[in-house]
Structures are given as C-alpha cells and as structure tokens.
Structure 1
Amino acid sequence: MSRPFASVRARATLAATLVVAVALVAAGTAVLLSLRSNLLGEAGTQAERSAREVATGLAFAKPYDDLPLDVDDRPVQVVDEEGRLVAASEDLERISGTGVDAVKPQPAATARDGGDDDDDDAADDDDHGESLEPGEIGARTTVSDGSATIDGDTEDYRFAAVPVETEDRGRLTVYAGAPLSAEHGAVNTALTVMLIGFPVLLAVVAWVTWLVTRRALRPVEGIRREMAAITASEDLARRVPVPDTHDEVARLASTTNETLTALESSVERQRRFVADASHELRSPIASLRTQLEVAAAHPELLDLGGAVEDTVRLQRLAADLLLLARLDAGERPADARVDLAALAREAAEGRRGVRVRAEEDVTVAGSRGQLERVLANLLDNAQRHARSAVEVSVRRDEGPHGAGGGGQTAVVAVADDGEGVPAADRERIFERFVRLDAARSRDDGGAGLGLAIARDVALRHGGTLTVRDTPAGGALFELRLPGA
C-alpha cells in the first residue's frame, strides 16, 4: 500500500475512533451522573423514611428509649430546638454533616452551660421557620451529606432532617442517615466497566474502520496503479478498472476513463494536425526553395511573382495554424459589439459576383477579427465553387440559436450557385485539412483549414455553422450566433 492511501486510511481510522471516543465519554459521563443522582435520591428517600419513622414516635410522645434509633445500624440523632442532642443511636461514635457533632445525649444543664452556638444556629436553620402544631411532623426535609462511625465502621451517609412539634418536649429535629456505600459501589463498578470496556470498544472501532477503509480504497489503488502505468507507457488507449460497486469510486473510474478518452482523442487530433500541417508546409517551402536555388544559380530565371505567391501562401497558412492553436488552447473571444451587417459589406467589398442583403442593426458580442475571418473564409469557399454568383444575407431570427436556445439570434447565410455539398460530406468538410475535390490543385483549393476555422470560431462564440443545399442546388452555409 502506498503512503498516500495508507495516510488516508490512518486519518479515517483516527477520525472515526476520536468521534466514537467523544461519544462514549459523553454517554459514559451522562450514565454515571444519572446513576449517581438516582442512587443519591434513593439514599435520601431511605434516610427521610427513617427520620419520619422516628419523628412519628416523637409525635406520639414515645420515650426516647422506645424510639427506633438502632434500625439497620443507621445513625440517628434527635436534637431539641436549643441544639442539644437528646437522643442518638447507641453505637454512634462519630458523626459529621448534620450540624451537631455530639454522639451522646447531654444533660439539660450541660447543654445550657456549654452548648455550642453553632449547634444552635444549625438547629434554627433546620427548622426552616416552619410553623407546626403539637404532634405535627414537618413536611419539608433537609438533605445533607456527611459521614459517621458506628461500632468502629466509618461510612459516608446521606442525612435527612425532619422537624416535629411535640406537646411536652417542644420542637425537635430528627437526623437519620442512609449509607452511600451502594452508590459508591455502583458508580465505581460502572466506572471500572467503562474504563475497561471503552478502550476495547475503541480498538474494535479502529480495527473495523481500518478494514472497511482498506476495502473502500482498494479500487482507488487499482486506479492509481493503472494511471501510473499509463503515464509510464504513454499508452492512452489503456483504461482504468471500473469496480462494480456503483458508488463514488466507480463514478471516479468512469470519469477518469472519459478523461482518458478525451485526452487520447485530443492527442490523436494534435498528431494528425502536426502531420497535416507539416505536409501542407512542405509544398510551398519546397517550391520557394527551388525558385531561390534556381535564382541563385541563374538570376535571370528568377520567378519573382511565383516566389511572392508562395511566400503569401506560407504566411496565410502560418496565420491559420496560429489561429487554430489559439482556439484549441481555449482562447475566449473578446466581448465587443460587432455589427454583422457592416462586417458582411466590408468582407464582400471588392469581390466579383458577391451580393449582400442585410437588415440593419444585427449585432453580436464577440471578436470582430475572428468573425471577420469567418466571413472571409465562407466567401472564399463560396467563390471557389460558385458558377457565377454568391449571395450573403444578414438577418435577425427570434428562434433559438444552436448553443444556448431561446432569445434573439443573428443569422448570416452565404449561398452560391455551384454544385452544392453531398449530404454524406456535410460534416466532414468542417474537419481540418479536408478537401472534397481530389482533382483540385493545392494552389486553387487552399489547405483545407478555412471551414474548420470558421466552425471553431462559431462554437467559441456560442453559435453554430451548418451547411445545406439552396433551392437552386448550390451550397448554403448558415452561421447562427446569439444576438447581443
């Protein structure tokens, strides 16, 4: 596997693993918080139940010794409104979190003489200012967290404080605790499972992502290898394999093959163009060289007119080749407004047998020089094949033009009274270096680039160039361009 594709696999695997890791951490955190909240709520409920059970006994004026203070080894404190501990679980050795640190009931005098002001404040706070009738238990419960040591065992507890109004002992507050060991154990167990399970799950996700990415990128690697082989061999006839997956990779392979087909066609067209251009250049160059060599040996035999004529042919052919090269390179035409009627009259001026019929103000957007070249090439072709007359017409057409459809279209038609173009050759004549009259001399027929240039320019301007027969049997070339 090459480095670029291995890097893609690594990045995809890392990204998938990170996404899953973030999701797992978020979900795990939510689960732990929810579990802890539920267990704390359950512990609070148990503590409140124990506190209300003791408060019920106090409401019925039970003695302290008859209260259920030692049920399930849970810490219980009963505090009067002065903050004095009046009853507590028998084995309670230490307590924190209730606001009253005493673990043994205190005599009344001791409580009054040496009572803790903080305990008084805590008792006052626990009452919440709730007004109660004698024998009534407070509806509101205060919950707090702390710890306690019972019979040598220290644990964390959740404490519930419940006020109760008695007839003979005044306002009392009952503190009862429920152990948090179940909550701590459950949370720790869940955390342990997550710490062990999450890495395993992430490893599975990474492994599966690595395998899936490898399988997904295997066709891409096949495409890369074939493209590398094509580049090394320069054989544009080869094609990359198209997988049967009907997905993005398959479409990539199909598009690559279409690009290779277009590239092969372009290269082949360029090869033919270079070969044809070399062939066309060989004749005037050879003729000019012959004349110059004869003139060098026999100055009196110099055919100056023929040399000038060959030089002009070379100049025109070079200009045609340069224009075609610019068109092939995708040169965009200028965006100037061109009056086709005026352009047609200028192109026909000085040509024998050419008549122009033009509507006024038929304008298009484009390159004046290139459109002038199109008209000149069409007129040259028409005069070459006409018996006696050539007619040029310029008009507006409200119908769709060939490239865009819709809107006003400018139409330039060049008709001759010659023999016309056979239906089988009406597209072939627009190919480069094609001349239908095999018996025609090169001097009279040109290089076969005029119509090819005309169509290429028309296409670059968003239009079309077609040919059909006139009613009289001659050829009618029709240039359609979108109106400005």
Structure 2
Amino acid sequence: MSRLFGSVRSRATLGATLVVAVALVAAGTALLLSLRANLTSEAGTRAERSAQSVASELAARTPLDKLSGLDAEDTPVQIVDEDGVLLAASEDLERISGTGTSEVTPAPERSDDDDRDDREDRDDREDGGSDDDRDDESLDPGEISPGASFTNGTATIDGDTEDYRFASVDVETPDGGRLTVHAGAPLAAEHSAVGTALTAMLIGFPLLLGVVAAVTWLVTGRALRPVEGIRREMAAITASEDLRRRVPEPATHDEVARLARTTNATLAALESSVERQRRFVADASHELRSPIASLRTQLEVAAAHPELLDLDGAVEDTVRLQNLAADLLLLARLDAGERPAGTRVDLAALAREEAAGRERVTVEAEPVEVSGSRGQLGRVLANLLDNAERHARERITVTVRREGGEAVLGVADDGEGVAEADRERIFERFVRLDAARSRDDGGAGLGLAIARDVAVRHGGTLTAGAAPAGGALFELRLPLAGADRGTPGA
C-alpha cells in the first residue's frame, strides 16, 4: 500500500478525489438544507393560508359547524379558545401533536349563560386592567392577527399518520372572544424531494468520484509518461555506462520537456567531462612513459657498464618527471574545484618577481591588485613566460595595467605568433602546435592549459592574440580586488 501511494500519480489521484469529495459533500449538504428550507417554507405558507381562511370565516360570525375549512382531507385544523379548550377540529382527525393541544374531540357546547359569564369576565378583565397589562397584540372584534407562528408536528387522519407544518393564527371574534386556529400542511412532498435528492447524491457522488479518479489517473499518467521514459532511459544509461545515449525529449513546451532538455545537457557535459578525463589519463600515461623508459634504460646501461652512465641525462629525465607530476597534481586539484585563496596580490610586483633572471624579458607595469592565490597566479605568469621564451626571437614584454574594473596582464613576444585557427586549441591539454618542438624542449603541453584553468578559477579569462611586434600576445584579465565577481571557482 505504501508503495502504491508512493507514486506521484497515485498521490495526485487521491488528492484530486478527496478535494472533489469534500466539495461534493459540502455542495450536497447545502443543496439539501436549501431544498428542505424552501419546501418547509412552502408548506408553512399553505398552512397559513388555510388558517387565515378559517379565521376569516370565524371573523364573519360563521358557526363552528358551518366552517368549510374543517372539511379539507389533508389539512388538519384545530380551533381553541384562550383557555386552550378545543372548540372544533377537522373531520376524521384521530391524533395530533405540535399545536399546543393534543385534543381531537371538541369540548361539549356550553350554554348561553356560560358564554355570557365568560364575556362578562373578559370585559371585567379588560376594564380593570391597565394598558400595560393588556396584550401587546390586542385585536379589535372581527380582526385577524397579521402574522402566524409555525411549528412542526404530526397528525393522524383517517388512519394515515404524516408529518405536518402547522401555522397558528389568532382571530378576535365579534362574540366569542379570541380564538386560535391551528392549520397544517403535509410535509410529504418535502420528505419525498429531500429523500429523492439524497438518494441521487448517494448514488451519483460515488460514480462522480470514480469518474474524477479515473480521469485524474489517466491524465496524470499521460502527463508523467515522458517522465517515466526519462527514468527508464537514465536507468539504462546507468546500467550500460554509455554516456552517448540521450533521454527522449517531448514535443511539448512544459516542465517535463525542459527537464528532458536539461537532463540531456547534463549528460552531454558529463560525457564531455568523462571523455576529457579519459584523454587526460591516456595523454598523461603517454607523457610519463617516455621519461620513465629513458631513465630505466640509462639505469640498466649504468648497471651493466658504469662507465657509460649519463648522469646529466638521468637528472634531466628525473626533473621532467617531477615537473610533469607537479603539473598533473595541480590540474587534478583544479578539476576537483579547489578554490583559490582570497589574499591580495600585486600583479606588478609578481610580474617583476617572475621576470627576474630572464634576460630577454622587460616589464612595463603599474601597481594593480587582484584577489586570489599568489602561488597559482605566479604559476600562470611563469608558464606564459616559459612559452614566450620558446618562441621569441629577441624580446618578451610583460605589461600590467588597469582597464575598467579589471586588471590586465599581457605577455607578448616577437616570434612567429599563433594562427587564428589555433588560438583556442593551444589551451587544450597535451596539445603541441609546433611539430619541431621536442618533448625535451617543449614540455608536455600542459602549461597553457594550467594557466587557462587557474584564470577561470579566479573569475577571469586568458586569451591568445597577435602582438604588435608580430608575435603572440597572451592576455590575462582578472577582476580587481574588492570587485563584485561572485565566488571564485564556482
């Protein structure tokens, strides 16, 4: 069960169904209450009309046994006096409740003397009482109360018991004092309508919820189908380790399509990174093989013929191995995302320091400070000067200047320069453009690659171009110390 509702599709279906269920229950309850209130009000209106009709006859001095309202088949009527004594009731009325009196048999008729005494008692009470003691709703003889009071109850007529809505209306008769007429209207239509609506809801709501759940399940499944395709393809790529494969991209322009495009872009970057790493390992192995083989050969010859030991050559091969190992270690740290230190470095002082001892190098620099690793930036400048010395004919110029919010360090030589088509390729690892350059003279081809990576880690750039003297010009651009440039190496 937990696995079933662990899917987005199941949770979306359950959530949509619950929301619709709550909405349907709320709407259904409101509808039933409104329907019941309207039908009950309608029944009350009918009961009030019946009570008003009987009250009108009483106000017109119609005798009790001549009242037409007492003959209605489905309208129970009671007429009581001020003392609650039942004076008249509908024919075939067997039982009643909810009107204030449960009597269904009228009291015996009183004599004229009793009526006369009652009228005198009422007159005495009216004459002797103050205005405050009189009923606030006092009526004149022959007047009917404008409003009615309503109650719910039951009545049994000719053996049939039903629920009724009763209306009570007061009337001041010309000679009989105040009487109250209770008339009822059946609530059978209200019960039937409410019951029918409730039955329809009990049958229809589950069906509607089933339709909502099914539609949500299908729509969600259709929407998530590309996601499942992406998941399956990613699982296949993981199992096969074939980074050349790509996930399917839907033809839509929604979030799923953007997810697929981002996934493919990530796979492409990962493939490029893995391929670059493979080339790096292969090239590093190839570069290490030569000095190691040369050193081994010299040691084997020296072991057999000590007099033939080329000590200078052995030392040179050892130095090459040391330098190559240092370059590989630095590249590994850079690839791992090592962030440079945030110390202030004066590029002018650094340029003079690195140029010291190099005969053909001149420095033209103004004090400019950047933030970063002094050791790594010194390595960049050293690599650029080493590269320039291998190609310069007579002169190498190092310049340091401020340009806007950047510090610009330039290394120019008067050699043959770099062809425009090769100005980006020279920054690739283990790339040598000059076939005449041997490994002994030209190094392993990692100097410019290291310089470019260090520049990027410091939030800057390193580019190759043409020098004014016709040779190559390498420009390192770094943000000035304190400039807003984000996190280095990010």
1:213-224 alignment to 2 at 5 Å? 213-224=220-231
In structure 2, relative to structure 1, the CA distance for the partners of 1:351 and 1:69 (3 Å cut) is farther
How far apart in 1 are the matches of 2:254 and 2:407? Answer: 45
1:353 to 2:360 alignment: yes
How far apart in 1 are the matches of 2:106 and 2:23? Answer: 53
1:480 to 2:487 alignment: no
Deviation at 1:301, TM superposition (A): 4.1
| Residue 378 of structure 2: aligned partner | 372
In structure 2, relative to structure 1, the CA distance for the partners of 1:438 and 1:180 (3 Å cut) is same
TM-score, structure 1 normalization: 0.87
How far apart in 2 are the matches of 1:18 and 1:293? Answer: 83
1:71 to 2:104 alignment: no
Please tell me whether the aligned partners of residues 5 and 221 of structure 1 are also in contact (alpha carbons under 8 angstroms).
no
2:196 to 155, 168, 189: 189
How far apart in 2 are the matches of 1:37 and 1:333? Answer: 79
Q: Which shifted more, 332-341 or 268-277? A: 332-341
Please tell me whether the aligned partners of residues 74 and 185 of structure 2 are also in contact (alpha carbons under 8 angstroms).
no
How far apart in 2 are the matches of 1:364 and 1:136? Answer: 106
| Residue 93 of structure 1: aligned partner | 94
Deviation at 1:300, TM superposition (A): 4.5
How far apart in 1 are the matches of 2:4 and 2:464? Answer: 53
Please tell me whether the aligned partners of residues 74 and 186 of structure 2 are also in contact (alpha carbons under 8 angstroms).
no
Please tell me whether the aligned partners of residues 5 and 217 of structure 1 are also in contact (alpha carbons under 8 angstroms).
no
Deviation at 1:109, TM superposition (A): 7.8
How far apart in 1 are the matches of 2:106 and 2:429? Answer: 117
Deviation at 1:5, TM superposition (A): 11
> 1:10-46 CA deviation, whole Å, 9 max, x = no partner?
3333333222222222222222111111111111111
Deviation at 1:282, TM superposition (A): 0.9
> 1:110-169 CA deviation, whole Å, 9 max, x = no partner?
999xxxxxxxxxxxxxx9942333332223322211111112111111112222233322
Q: Which shifted more, 329-338 or 316-325? A: 329-338
Q: Which shifted more, 59-68 or 181-190? A: 59-68
How far apart in 1 are the matches of 2:4 and 2:318? Answer: 56
1:210-249 alignment to 2 at 5 Å? 210-249=217-256
| Residue 130 of structure 1: aligned partner | 137
Deviation at 1:369, TM superposition (A): 2.6
| Residue 163 of structure 1: aligned partner | 170
SS in 1 for 2:105: coil
1:321 to 2:338 alignment: no
In structure 2, relative to structure 1, the CA distance for the partners of 1:367 and 1:142 (3 Å cut) is farther
| Residue 123 of structure 1: aligned partner | none
SS in 1 for 2:358: coil
How far apart in 1 are the matches of 2:140 and 2:390? Answer: 126
Letter in 2 for 1:89: S
| Residue 161 of structure 2: aligned partner | 154
Letter in 2 for 1:370: Q
1:36-435 alignment to 2 at 5 Å? 36-67=36-67, 68-107=69-108, 129-360=136-367, 362-398=368-404, 408-435=405-432
> 1:33-85 CA deviation, whole Å, 9 max, x = no partner?
11111111111111122122222222323222233123242112222222222
Please tell me whether the aligned partners of residues 61 and 173 of structure 2 are also in contact (alpha carbons under 8 angstroms).
yes
Q: Which shifted more, 55-64 or 271-280? A: 55-64
Please tell me whether the aligned partners of residues 398 and 410 of structure 2 are also in contact (alpha carbons under 8 angstroms).
yes
Identity of aligned residues (%): 78
Q: Which shifted more, 224-233 or 387-396? A: 224-233
How far apart in 2 are the matches of 1:163 and 1:460? Answer: 98
How far apart in 2 are the matches of 1:364 and 1:86? Answer: 112
In structure 2, relative to structure 1, the CA distance for the partners of 1:373 and 1:90 (3 Å cut) is same
> 1:257-292 CA deviation, whole Å, 9 max, x = no partner?
222222221121111111111111111211222233
In structure 2, relative to structure 1, the CA distance for the partners of 1:352 and 1:98 (3 Å cut) is farther
Deviation at 1:185, TM superposition (A): 0.7
In structure 2, relative to structure 1, the CA distance for the partners of 1:109 and 1:65 (3 Å cut) is closer
How far apart in 1 are the matches of 2:340 and 2:59? Answer: 103
| Residue 124 of structure 1: aligned partner | none
In structure 2, relative to structure 1, the CA distance for the partners of 1:209 and 1:379 (3 Å cut) is same
Please tell me whether the aligned partners of residues 418 and 465 of structure 2 are also in contact (alpha carbons under 8 angstroms).
yes
In structure 2, relative to structure 1, the CA distance for the partners of 1:337 and 1:143 (3 Å cut) is farther
Deviation at 1:182, TM superposition (A): 0.7
How far apart in 2 are the matches of 1:89 and 1:335? Answer: 105
Deviation at 1:231, TM superposition (A): 2.7
TM-score, structure 2 normalization: 0.86
